[in-house]
Structure formats: C-alpha cells, structure tokens
Homo-oligomer: A and B are copies of this chain.
Amino acid sequence: MSSPPVLLLCRLFPGTFTDVAHRFRLLDFYASALPIHAFLAAVAAHADPPRVVLVFGGGPIPVGAELFDAVPSLRCIITVSAGTNHIDLRECARRGVQVANAGGIYSTDVADYAVGLLLDVLRHVSAGDRFVRRGLCPEQRGGDFLPLGSKIGGRRVGIIGLGSIGSAIARRLEAFGCVVSYHNRRRREDVAYAYFPTATDLAASSDVLVVACALTAETRRIVDRGVLDALGERGVVVNVARGANVDEAELVRALAEGRVAGAGLEVFDDEPNVPPELWAMDNVVLTPHQAIFTPESMADLSRVVLANLDAFFAGEPLLTRVKHRGGIPNPLPDCVPAVYDAIKSVFQKTIDHSLTWCW
C-alpha cells in the first residue's frame, strides 16, 4: 500500500522535509514546474487526491474557500505557525476541515526574542553596533550619537496577551526587576500581575508595551493611535505577534513625530515590506520575523507535524487542533494566486534555511 498523499504548499526546513517525505507522498508545489492554479488543478485530478495540506503561517497566503474549491478532497490543514490568523476557521468548520497549528513549540523562542528586542531598544545595542561598524571614532561622532539608554529594572512593562508567550516574557522580565502588567480579554486568576481591561489603560500605565497576542478580529490594530498616545513620548513598543496587531502607519507617524520613544519590531503589516521611513531611525530595531528559527524549534516542528499527520490518518484527534470559536470572523486578505507563484520562484532560488517572512 502506498503512503498517503500530502499536499505541501509551504517550504519546510530540510530536516522536517526529510522526516515528512520519508513517511508520506508529498505533492510539493515547490518541486513542481506549474503555477499555483494549474498545480492545484492537477492535484485535485489525482486518482488519490490529498486529504491533508501543509501550509505556511500567515504572511500573504490566506487559506480558505478558494483552496477548498480548488482541492475539494482536503479535510485537514496543518499550519507550521502558532497563529491561525491566515486560516478561515469558520469556513473550515462549515466544510468539516480540521485545523492544526504548531501548538506552543515556539513560545519560549518568541519570548526570549521579545526580551532581546526590549533590551536592544532600551539600551541601543544594534544602534551602537551600527555606530561601531561605520568606523566612527570620537572625533567623527559629534552630535550624532545616542542619548542615554534606559535602566531595565523598575520599568513598567505592559503585555498585551498574557498567553504562553506573554507569560514567558513576564517571567523573564521579572528577573530583570521589571514591573509587569497585562491586558487580556479576561483577567487571569492564576497570576498576580496587574490587569487592565483595555489596551489604552495598560499603555497609560506602561513604559514598554509588548504585543504578544494572537491576531484575531478583536486584536487587529489593538495598538492604535489612542494606545500610542496613552503610551506617550517616553514609551516603547515591542511587537512579536503579528504586524496587523499594530496600526503600522500610526506607529510610523508617532515615531517620526517623537510621540513614542522607540520600537522593536519583529513583524510587519505587509511582510516582507518594512516601511522605509523606519530604516533610518536609530530608535527602532527591525528584524525579519525570525524569532522562531532555532534548530530546536525546527526539530519540534517536525515532531508536531508528524504527530498531527499520524493522528489524522489514524482517525484520532489532532495533537494541536485549533477550533473555530465563533465570534467575529477574522478578516482574511484576498487570496492572490500570483503571490504563491512569486513566493515559489523566490524559494526555489534561495537556500533552504532562509525561510523567514512567509512562515
């Protein structure tokens, strides 16, 4: 009996790819010469069409009705991301398509990275590095160097989203003597941090605002102009969630006008595009959605993907199943087939470990 087919619409790191290819028959968009529409049509016409698809996490590729119409055999989506903001969960529920994500495997990596961004922005680490690499010695420095940094201990850090990532950030920051508070949909009874019922209230009581929530209809642009103004001109934003959690245009404006002091941004609204206004700012740290790229997390991803595939084909519950919770549907961007094709041509050219931005 041949191994079951699995539709592969994302690139996997070599180790994960090998692990999955060893056990399943991969219908790999990236190994095909066809553009996306023709590829999906060919896949759908297979004698044994795929019931599972592996997809990227977020970025420009939404997963919803168009994909199911193209490949009606699909019954299971496995995304390599923790977030499922790119998946139309309501449509999945309506069609009986199960969804699994990467579970919590990235939480510590993202939390560690968030603390790194916070330290960098408050203490000018990458700005200092730029200064040194420009070969500046004191004579040339003049007025162009950096103002004083900010002590870490005692800083009031407000976390939007005290889930697994936010909680891990909080624990780390406690070791630095930060004063942690948070905003969630609901107060958590199991933590002693101060709770604020709105992001604006949290920002008004924070020196640093860390965005660590899932992207949902409710949290889209949760950091808007009002929140930024509440944070104020000495405040700093750190975003390790999704670009769309922040009103990026308002943040750029607030930074340019000195209405907030700085930002550490690992995610952007329209990745891989980063607003060019930010490139010349010394009070921001801009990184390419790379927090999860550690060998350990990639190995964990192999395990969780294989466990979900095994569970699905055994008719058992998915290991990291994501359920539609009702409520306001999360708006998805239009599915643009050209994006798939463009990304494919990029990834076919690049080395395998350079898979940020479309994760």
Contact = CB atoms under 8 A, between A and B. Distances in A.
B123 A291 contact: yes
B151 A294 contact: yes
A66 interface: no
Contact of A120 (B120, B135, B143, B153): B120
Interface in A165-196: 171-172, 174-177
Nearest to A346: B138
Contacts of A113: 119, 123, 125
A39 interface: no
Given A151-B297, A175-B175, A294-B149, A135 B276 contact: yes
A298 B151 CA distance: 11
Contact of A294 (B139, B148, B176, B296): B148
Contact of A148 (B125, B149, B279, B353): B353
Nearest to A142: B350
Contacts of A205: none
A290 B124 contact: yes
Interface string A154-168: 100000000000000
B133 A286 contact: yes
Q: How large is the interface on A (under 10, 10 to 19, 20 to 34, 35 or more residues)?
A: 35 or more
Contacts of A273: 137
Contacts of A120: 116, 120, 125-126
Contacts of A174: 175
Contacts of A148: 293-295, 298, 353
B175 A129 contact: no
B112 A290 contact: no
Given A116-B123, A119-B119, A150 B279 contact: no
Interface string A253-280: 0000000000000000000111010010
15 contacts: A125-B126, A126-B129, A128-B288, A131-B287, A132-B286, A137-B273, A138-B354, A139-B349, A141-B350, A142-B350, A143-B351, A145-B351, A146-B290, A147-B353, A148-B353
